Structure 1
Amino acid sequence: MVLSDPDPTTVPLDDLAAIVLCAEGEAGVLFDRQERRAHKQPLEATAPRPWVTPAARAPTARCAGHCIRDARYSDREIHENSIPVYDRQDTGFGPIGYVRYYKDPEGSMVGHPTKDYMIIELVPQVTLSSQGPHLKQTGELKVPDGHISPNALNPALDNERLLGADWFNNNELVVSGQLGVWYGRITNATNGIYQSHASHKMGDSGGPAVWHAPGSAYPSDANGFQAAGPWAGITKAIVLGLPPYTYTSSANILADLRTRDAADPGDVYGAGFEVTANP
């Protein structure tokens, strides 16, 4: 009865307390996910919280989904601040964000086969930048004629299509991690998972990979091992194979976000993701 009132600002304080309790505390206590979606407008008017309109709030970041294994939180939008994320080089800063979604690996030891990613909502104190220590991300990779991600809707967008890995393709990834800055050719792109000679090690999962645009400079001692290119994916895992280094494509992540958002409009963290243009 409270939530159906056309003007939530007229709700008596005793009744309003129920809404505030839900919004300020554990959202699942009073309202399940379906009820939250059905009553977004009055909830937003009475107690606007980060989870009311996920697509339109704080900036988000991406990481690998297999970094967390807890069935209580997987495969759903995590509205509560239960899983803080820290900068391992500056833990004193406090949480830089909170995990809002991650895909259960479904038995795989190296993450879900096509959807191994998580969404992190960043706190307001974090300043976005397209420039990392060595890699600058210049937007999202778009491959108009590429194969379609298995996670994509029909029709697929250009940023939901994959780089080629055939013999006549020379697509390369550039990555930065604990081993330094590496680049290497993509040898396989099955199911939107890139296999590449660009190396990494355990602990690098979720780090960005950019596409090396033909003709652009390779990272080297002469340029301080800097590289720039469109975001192409994130570090996934080391597997049995040659080369053993795998990456979840940006196409798979963006396609799955759009697919989930289409099924549940306005309640998907990270929907409509774009790489920041901030320097």
Structure 2
Amino acid sequence: MILTARDVTASYPGAEPVLSRATCELANGTRLALLGANGSGKTTLLRCLSGAHKPDSGEIALAGQPLHHDKKSLRNHRRRVQLVLQDPDDQLFSADVTQDVAFGPLNLGLTTDEVRHRVSEALDLLGVTHLADRPTHQLSYGERKRVTIAGAVAMRPDVLLLDEPTAGLDPAGVEDVRTALERLTGQGTTIVLATHDVDFALSWADEAAVVAGGQIQQGPITRILSDTELVNRAHLRQPWQLELAIALGLDSRPRTMIGVLEALSSSHRPTG
């Protein structure tokens, strides 16, 4: 496993734990959809995985090595695990796009040529090369989202954690993000994507992790989203593919229903 959270309990001052002995495991190259209601703990889990939030108990481990929250350990961890927040304005602060995407690589002490190469590569992967010289305050919301992801990608992380990257985007913006994600997974990047969009999740992810009641249920996405009780407990909407399977009477034949879901989700997943 490239990244794991094992028996993690996490809380904030003066509040009950958001996560309680929660476990999540990520294999290399996984596309994981992190699903759950508002306040369920999705963002807290991402922050724990990235090292931004120290759990009350439990362990975060990268390639089998436990994360310690000292300065050196966190610095090394964040070189390999990058978190992109839901609101791009929380992470964009440079005058123009190139400067913003270059910020992380520059702080790694790389040569100027290497930084330029990484910036060019990241902008190309996210499909925003044409925005290289654009002031960040002149970007659309969708453009700001993709530029923020580009800044994380320029660090060449092993794991990319995305908090609601499609939230607030129109259909064209969602497809732009999907295209960028396909390019990244094509390069072997492990991606965790927190989302409320179960249809997008089903068509994109290999696995799902549902956060409900402080616990995490993880598995193949078709099996997880076929669990009606779990979906209802997490206050999620059933994917249209699942609704169709139920309408066809396949809910009484779970293996058949999962097969239909797999076929339908695969038919909506880009191949490149």
Q: Which has the higher contact order (CA 8 A, sep 6+)?
A: 2
TM-score if structure 1 supplies the norm length? 0.22
Between structures 1 and 2, the one with greater helix share: 2
Could you say which structure has the larger radius of gyration? 1
